Amino acid sequence: MAQRELSFFETVLAFFDKAAAYTSHPKGLLDQIKYCNSVYSFKFPLKNDDGTYEIIHGFRVEHSHHKQPVKGGIRYSEMVNEDEIKALAALMTYKCAIVDVPFGGAKGGVKIEPRNYTSSQLERITRRYTAELVKKNFIGPGVDVPAPDYGTSGREMAWIADTFNALNPGLIDSDACVTGKPIEQGGIRGRIEATGNGVFYGVRHVLSYAEDMKKLGLSPGLDGKRVVVQGMGNVGYHVAKFFQQAGAVIVAVAEYDGAIYNPNGIDIDELQAHRKETGSTLDFPGAKNFENGKQALEYECDILVPAALERQITAENAPRVQAKIIAEAANGPTTADGEDILLKKGVMIIPDMYLNAGGVTVSYFEWLKNLSHVRFGRMSKRFEEASNMGLLNAVEKLTGKALSQDEKTLISHGADEIDLVNSGLEETMINAYDDIHETLVSTDGLDDLRTAAFVSSINKIAVTYMQLGIFP
């Protein structure tokens, strides 16, 4: 009899159990960390323009309250279900702990296909969804802070913020009830590309460990690496773009409508222009179409970046995956059985709970900006520029050598919001991976990055609970 495939949440639990065996925490504490604290499933009616009604199913799961507020995106997809939202909420808890962002984990979802709805319908759905969260105290700047996810964007976050504001008049910090907002409505520069940028910083740093790369038969650095990207949404596009700018060669790209390949490389911006013009990734000039889109996952490359949905690499296709590194930009793209096969083949898997943490990291910066009511860099930028210019003038006097005005402007530049956001994100991704790597090499029997990431995360969360006095 064939063994039943684990669900998404069961897969997360299996990964947790594997890591928990490398810790010494009591079972009660591990169970508290492992399971979801609050699960909210609800339905509400949507009145269509023709007068008919349909019932919309929404979810919000708060996995862990060891830190507050809890944090997690809201996705709009026909595939949304309770198991998926619980799994994603759990991953958010571990992700926040790994990158030292002081949030518990949460996730939300609405079971719709957004492409089948007008903007007006989506606005009504979003505002009613927000009102349902307000009713049960599942949203608020100190309670639960959503963000964009698959199928949502800054537009939906603006509707959420506006609805929350209307229902909470006079709350001075209400803009911090949600992140991923448009800049004009309290958002932060760098948030749109944050997840992709974090993947770039993370992979680049992983590839700087020369001994680890030597074991894979690779040289350090991204330059010349052959990369396959699955998913050309916001995350996949920015990953591909940043990798290409760093000298990597994008040899294949997969989207929901099919996949293409070119061993000599695919220009990402030209591909995006082609998609806008034709509505499809297929038939891109200079590239060939795969017969089946999932064949891209099996194409020969150095780095495979699954940046679409969960459960893309399974026991069925893992034996045919040729990549040396799997960089999980999506949440849960590899099943437990698929991972076992890849690890036995010597593939390095950079886990999602670390690698795609750029989004929540920059969301944290946005939350801080909303609470402080001041743009990063506003207080210091001009002072830094004046100080730097004074230093340059002093150097010119001492050396007798004059710099051009362009050189002076470049060197004296004071940090603006985007500079500080990217600096903070890069620092976060580097430090987090160093912690994971240290856990990997210092824990007897550990031999994969995902388990090391879980161990690191569990230990950090356990310390918080013990400090709270909940567990001895």
Under 8 Å between Cβ of 178 and 147 = yes
Q: Is 107 a catalytic residue?
A: yes
Q: Which listed residue (107, 181, 369, 381) is catalytic? A: 107
Residues forming a β-bridge with 305? 229
Under 8 Å between Cβ of 228 and 320 = no
Under 8 Å between Cβ of 305 and 199 = yes
Cα(329)–Cα(161) distance, rounded to whole angstroms? 27
Q: Provide the token pair at 25.
A: 């925490």
Omega cis (within 30) before 69: yes
Under 8 Å between Cβ of 437 and 452 = yes
Catalytic residue list: 107
